[in-house]
Amino acid sequence: MSKKELKEKLDALQCHFTWRLSIAGHIEVSHVLQKLAVEIKYTPHQNQAPLLGLQAYLYQLEGQSRAALQSLKDAEEYERQDKQQASVAGSLVIYGNYAWIHYLQASYQEAESYLQQVEQLCTTPLDAQLIPYIQAQKGWSLLAIRARNGERARECFEVALMLEPENRNFHAGLGMALYSCWNYFWYPDIAEEARIQLEKAVLENPNNYRAKMCLAMLLEQVNTERSISLIEENVEKSSDPDVLKASASFWLKRKATEKAIKILQQALEQNPGYHLLYQALAKCYKKQWLNANNRDKNNILEAAIKDLNQILQEHPDLVFVKLQLAEFYGARDPAQEEKIYRELQERKETLSLKSLQALNLYWGNFFYKKSSLDEAKAKFMDGYRIPVATAMRRKCAQKLIQLAQCYQGEAAAAIYRFMEDTDRHLPAEFSAAELE
C-alpha cells in the first residue's frame, strides 16, 4: 500500500484522530491532559476507554508517543472487562488510534497492520459510524475537552440512543451533554430536558457524582433545597477534585467563602498536584478579602499572601496563582505587584496563550487603577489580540469598552475599530457566541 493510499484509509476510520475534536490552535493541551487524568481516575461510569483514547491522542499531539501507546494499552485493558458488543466497538477505535500513532511515527508497516485489524472487525467505515458505542465514545471525548462541545456531544449520544434506546450509559452521557449546552450557551429550553436525563442518571448510578454536580447546578435557582442537598452529599462522599472544586464554587457564589476554602483544602489533601484547585483557592482568598470588613481586611490579606507564597514555592509554574498574589501585593505595595508582572513578561515565551492573556488583563487592571489609561489600553489590547476564547478575553473587551467611554470622540472610535478589525481576522474556530 502506498503512503497516499494508507493515509486515505486512515482518514476514513472512526477514532480520535479523525473526529475533529477542536483542539488545534486555541486549547492548551497540557491543561486538558491534567483534567483528563483526574476524570479517568475518578469517574465510575463506563467511559474510561474513550477517555484513555483521548489521552493517547493528546499525548501524540505533544510528541509523547511512548505515553500515547501506554494509554492505548490501558484502554485495551478496560475493553477486556467490558461486554462483548462494547468491546468490539472499543477495539475499532483503539486499533484506529494505534494505526494513526504509528503512521505519524513513520512506522507505516505497523500502521497498515492495525488498519488490517480494523478491517477484519468492520469492513466499511460507514458501518463503524453506525455502531452506537462508537458514537458514545466520540461524545464522551468531546465533553472531556470543553463545555462548548456540548452540542456536538449531544448529537453523538442522540444517535447512540436511536440505535440502542435503553442504554443507561448513553442516557447519562446525553444528560451531561445537555447540561454543557445549557451551561455554555445558556439555552433555557434545554434545562428541563437535561434535568430529566440527569435525574435518571443519578437514580440508576448513585455514585455518578459528576452527574449529581450538574444536576445541582441546574436546580440552583428552581429548587435550592434539593440543590444544596446534592452539593452536601458530593462533599461528603466524593473524592473527585473536580466535583469538590465545583462544590466550592457553588458556596463561593453564595458568599460562604470559609466553607468553599475548607472544601478546596479537603480536595488538596488528596490531590496536591492538581493545578485547578490552587487557582480556585486563590479566587476564594480574593473574594474573602473583598467581602471582609475593614477590621479583618489586613489580616486576611497577610494570611492569603503567606499561603499563596507557600503554594508557589512548591508549584512555581502556577501562573494564575502568581497573578492573584501580585494583585494582593498591590494592595499594600503597587511596585511589588508590577514587579511580578514584569518578571512574567520576561519569560512570556514559556507562557501559554491563556496565561499570557491573563497577564495582560491583570497588568491592564493595574494601570487602570493608577489612572494610566493609555498604558491600560495597550495591555487590554494585547490581551484581546490573543486568539483564544476565554473569560479573560471577554474581560479585556469589557475594559476596552469602559475606556472608550472615558475617551469618547476619535480616541473612542479607534478602540471600537481595533476590536472590529481584530475580530475580523480571528481563526475560524471562534463562534459568534464567543464574540458576543
When pLDDT is cut at 50, 70 and 90, the band that residue 184 belongs to is confident
Q: What's the confidence (pLDDT) of residue 82?
A: 65
In total, how many domains does the chain have?
A: 3
**DSSP label of 333:** -
Span 271-287, pLDDT tens digits: 998 999 999 999 999 99
Cell matching residue 176? 451531561
Q: Are residues 64 and 141 in the same domain?
A: yes
Q: Are residues 381 and 421 in the same domain?
A: yes
Q: Which of 236, 246, 250, 164 lies closest to 207, judged by CA? A: 236
Residue 161 lies in a domain: no
Q: Are residues 410 and 362 in the same domain?
A: yes
Q: Has residue 162 got a pLDDT over 90?
A: yes
CATH no. for residue 52?
1.25.40.10
What is the pLDDT averaged over residues 237-263?
95
What is the pLDDT averaged over residues 48-77?
94
Concatenated DSSP letters for 70-85? HHHHHHHHHHHTS-HH
Query: Rounded distance, CA 39 to CA 278, Å?
Result: 18
Q: Are residues 331 and 362 in the same domain?
A: no
Q: Are residues 58 and 114 in the same domain?
A: yes
Query: What's the Cα-to-Cα distance from 296 to each of 292, 303, 305, 329, rounded to whole Å?
Result: 6, 11, 14, 17
- For the CA atoms of 253, 254, 257, 260, the dihedral, rounded to the nearest 10 degrees, stands at -70
What is the pLDDT averaged over residues 147-162?
92
What is the pLDDT averaged over residues 32-52?
87
Q: What's the confidence (pLDDT) of residue 431?
A: 56
Query: What's the Cα-to-Cα distance from 430 to each of 145, 155, 184, 322, rounded to whole Å?
Result: 16, 20, 14, 28
Q: Are residues 372 and 327 in the same domain?
A: no
Q: What are phi and psi of 240, to 5 degrees?
A: -65, 115
Least confident span in 65-69, 83-87, 152-156, 424-428: 83-87
Residue 232 lies in a domain: no
Q: Has residue 353 got a pLDDT over 60?
A: yes
Q: What's the confidence (pLDDT) of residue 83?
A: 58
Q: Has residue 76 got a pLDDT over 60?
A: yes
Q: Which residues contact 73 (CB under 8 A, 6 or more apart)?
A: none
- Long-range Cβ contacts of 118-122 (<8 Å, 24+ apart): 118/13, 118/92, 121/88, 121/91, 121/92, 121/95, 122/92
Q: Are residues 363 and 405 in the same domain?
A: yes
Q: What's the confidence (pLDDT) of residue 433?
A: 47
Residue found by looking up cell 440512543 in the block: 161
The boundaries of the domain holding residue 314 are 288-349
Q: Are residues 413 and 301 in the same domain?
A: no
Please identify, among 110, 145, 180, the residue that sits at the C-terminal boundary of a domain. Answer: 145
Continuous H helices in 292-318: 294-314
Helices and strands (H, E) in the chain, number of each type: 24, 0
What is the pLDDT averaged over residues 170-189?
88
The percentage of residues in the chain with a pLDDT greater than 90, rounded to a whole number, is 78
Are the C-beta atoms of residues 230 and 246 closer than 8 Å to each other?
Answer: no
Q: Are residues 130 and 13 in the same domain?
A: yes
When pLDDT is cut at 50, 70 and 90, the band that residue 124 belongs to is confident
How many CB atoms lie under 10 A from the CB of residue 217? 20
Q: What's the confidence (pLDDT) of residue 47?
A: 80
Residue 186 lies in a domain: no
Q: Which residues contact 299 (CB under 8 A, 6 or more apart)?
A: none
- Amino acid at the residue 64: Q
Q: Are residues 377 and 402 in the same domain?
A: yes
- Amino acid at the residue 212: K
Sign of CA dihedral 152, 155, 159, 161: positive
Please identify, among 92, 126, 145, the residue that sits at the C-terminal boundary of a domain. Answer: 145
Q: Are residues 65 and 91 in the same domain?
A: yes
Query: Rounded distance, CA 379 to CA 384, Å?
Result: 9
Q: Are residues 294 and 428 in the same domain?
A: no
Span 426-435, pLDDT tens digits: 876 665 445 4
Residue 407 lies in a domain: yes
Residue 191 lies in a domain: no
Least confident span in 24-38, 284-298, 304-318, 406-420: 24-38
Residue 26 lies in a domain: yes
Residue 358 or 130, more confident: 358
Q: What's the confidence (pLDDT) of residue 328?
A: 97
What is the pLDDT averaged over residues 201-216?
94
Residue 267 lies in a domain: no
Residue 182 lies in a domain: no
Q: SS3 of 144, please?
A: helix
Please identify, among 100, 129, 145, the residue that sits at the C-terminal boundary of a domain. Answer: 145
Residue 33 or 24, more confident: 33
